[in-house]
Structure 1
């Protein structure tokens, strides 16, 4: 059964690891690049991700001008939300954004160490904002 708008937005706002998919141009555009990624979202807003400025993922997103995210839960009740939409902004990442997204996924005591390491070692990062345009969702119930 499809989730209501409030249910799907609340589910997407939870800290799931997303599968990001973007057209890769491989095989005539039929084979997307699909990778796991951290993301940030608040109900009613836009999604944002952080990636390397020169990463393949970042380059493909810039070329395609859009991407998809899919998040799921595999324990009852099993559900998923998939969202796709256009890129509305790409800006240089800030340390504060790295702290924000890291705190979403890591235990509090690990955030500062991870941020210090990532800021020094991951190279130039960008934040890519996507406006959710198409949603798919389902609650598959108890299995």
Structure 2
């Protein structure tokens, strides 16, 4: 059964690891990789990735991407969202901290942020406007 707009937005706002998919060009299947993301109901979503990464190159070329998040407990539920890239801006330490705090225990955030800022190279924040949604909760069947 499909989720309501409110349910799908609330589910996407939870800190799931997303599967990001983006067109990889002629003769290739889409690039699909796990990624952290940020989303608040009713807003745009964003991800952070390396400026020179293949992922970012493909995202910029395609101009859009899809994210899929799911769970298996207490019921099988998923939300897939697709949309256009609306901006790509340099990453900031504040955005990195926000993303890390979403996924990591509080005592791990500072160490991760310090390591990532020093070792992951130049990063960008890619903002996406959710345009198309597919969702279901199989516990309602």
TM-score (norm 1): 0.96
The structural deviation recorded for 1:93 is 0.2
Tell me, what secondary structure is at the counterpart of 1:80?
strand
- Please tell me whether residue 73 in structure 1 is matched to residue 63 in structure 2: no
* CA RMSD of superposed structures (Å): 1.2
- Other-structure match for 2:41: 43
CA distance in 2, matches of 1:99, 1:76: 30
| CA drift at 1:75 | 1.4
Deviation track 1:11-51 (CA, whole Å, cap 9, x = no partner) reads 00000000000000151x5x100000000000000010000
Post-superposition offset of 1:76: 2.3
Contact 1:76 1:142 survives alignment (8 Å): no
Q: 1:142 deviation in Å?
A: 7.3
Q: Pick from 74, 89, 93: which aligns with 1:95?
A: 93
The count of corresponding residues between Structure 1 and Structure 2 is: 141
**Unmatched 5+ stretches in structure 2:** none
Equivalent residue of 1:40, what SS?
A: strand
In the alignment, is the contact (CA less than 8 A) between 1:39 and 1:47 conserved in 2?
yes
User: Equivalent residue for 1:17?
Assistant: 17
List runs of 5+ in structure 1 lacking aligned partners: none
SS of 1:25's partner is coil
Corresponding residue for residue 6 of structure 2: 6
